[in-house]
Chain A
């Protein structure tokens, strides 16, 4: 994983019961494991294989990623918010690296 912080677009405020749009972008090569280098050797697979989003510890969205996903995976999804709290996002790399990011939201 590149040494850059994931980008998050999460509204800082929402009304109780509102459906909010969450966007995330993370920098990653998403090497498929199918390409070969000039000497013919396979370039080893290295992808983000799992992404999850939790709100106050409860699952909101998760998915497994496969080698067909392009570099710098972008997610956009929605969540209904009933209370103030924190969204926590997690990306898991093939090499075991876990990257996390958080974004608070105030619900009125």
Chain B
């Protein structure tokens, strides 16, 4: 679709929801009257669109990461300005170091990103960082190795390597143990098969037909959404009361998220569903509830094949895009990763972190919400953001946080032109 046609579609949609807004105003009086009701979909503007206060899912790792950056605040300790002297009186234990480099309880540890020879019998090393198999021959002294592990930013301010010491993932003794182990690495890695070698391991290709309802259990959401569409809410109306033909809304999802002046934030499909349903049918479909996610799948499903086309030109959207882009470069959490550290191909993108492939930002949006085979559940993009942050040991934000709106708009714009393909299916 060219931009002019897209604009026409937006106008047509605005007119359609405008007509509906008038109906809603009769039903609700002035309670939820939006500023420009004649042109815009009715939304509940007050309150949170998610569980309040937000509480992390109980089956996710529960850690206190309040000392580190999130998308909403800066809290991490500053990077040291210069290299540290070797701590006195500590001797490294190479055998313990060999265990530590493969310790999955320390944020993945070294093997997540580095090939380290035949270290620890570990399979599936990653390749985000350089191959360290012969680091013991590199002529680095103990202090240099110590500082690389403790906080590599003293040598390279742009490194993606976590500051293991500064951020408290390893203590001085443990870093000395790792240094002692690194010095023993003097021979190229031998791999049992090409699958073990991250430089030869084939990139995963998703070949399943995600829109085949015999293949993708996420397609059950479509059945459920069609029933929800017709179910009356507390106000005695259903989605179908105003939108008898749901497929007429196929021009909606490709242009989401969008800057919403009434909320002074970027509004995504999921938050829209909550605020619009609350204002019209009275349904209470909080973000990440089953109903919300089900309808978020459906509103994109009916637009499948349409290219993503979000607005980043209007002033509010432009500013949000710029904020989102900056947030994608913000170092987050104890592991100190920015989105781009793992998903930009100039850094970790298109490489392996242990046995998991890191995709680029383009291609990470068109299939959301997606069925996750490993979890037997559908996740929307905000839940995916949250999980990324928990994994890099940062506190997540509530799903309706304005920072996620900015980040989602930036991500969607990077994916502009890709065709919606929802529900996706992923590991």
Contact = CB atoms under 8 A, between A and B. Distances in A.
Interface string B213-237: 1100100100110000000000000
Contacts of B223: 4-5
B59 interface: yes
Interface string A16-38: 00000001010101000000001
Contacts of B214: 7, 9, 23, 25, 74
Interface residues of B, number: 8
Nearest to A38: B59
Given A5-B223, A71-B376, A27 B59 contact: no
Secondary structure of the A contact surface, majority rule: loop
A72 interface: yes
Q: Which of A4, A5, A71, A74 has the most CB of B within 10 A?
A: A4
Contacts, number: 21
Given A4-B224, A5-B223, A29-B376, A72 B59 contact: no
Nearest to B220: A4
A29 B217 CA distance: 11
A4 B223 CA distance: 8
A10 to B, nearest CB: 12
Given A27-B220, A38-B59, A7 B213 contact: yes
Contacts of A74: 214
Contacts of B217: 25, 27, 71-72
Nearest to A71: B376
Interface of B: 59, 213-214, 217, 220, 223-224, 376
15 contacts: A4-B223, A4-B224, A5-B223, A7-B213, A7-B214, A23-B214, A25-B213, A25-B214, A25-B217, A27-B217, A27-B220, A71-B217, A72-B217, A72-B376, A74-B214
Given A25-B214, A25-B217, A38-B59, 18 more contacts: A2-B220, A4-B220, A4-B223, A4-B224, A5-B223, A7-B213, A7-B214, A9-B214, A23-B214, A25-B213, A27-B217, A27-B220, A29-B376, A71-B217, A71-B376, A72-B217, A72-B376, A74-B214
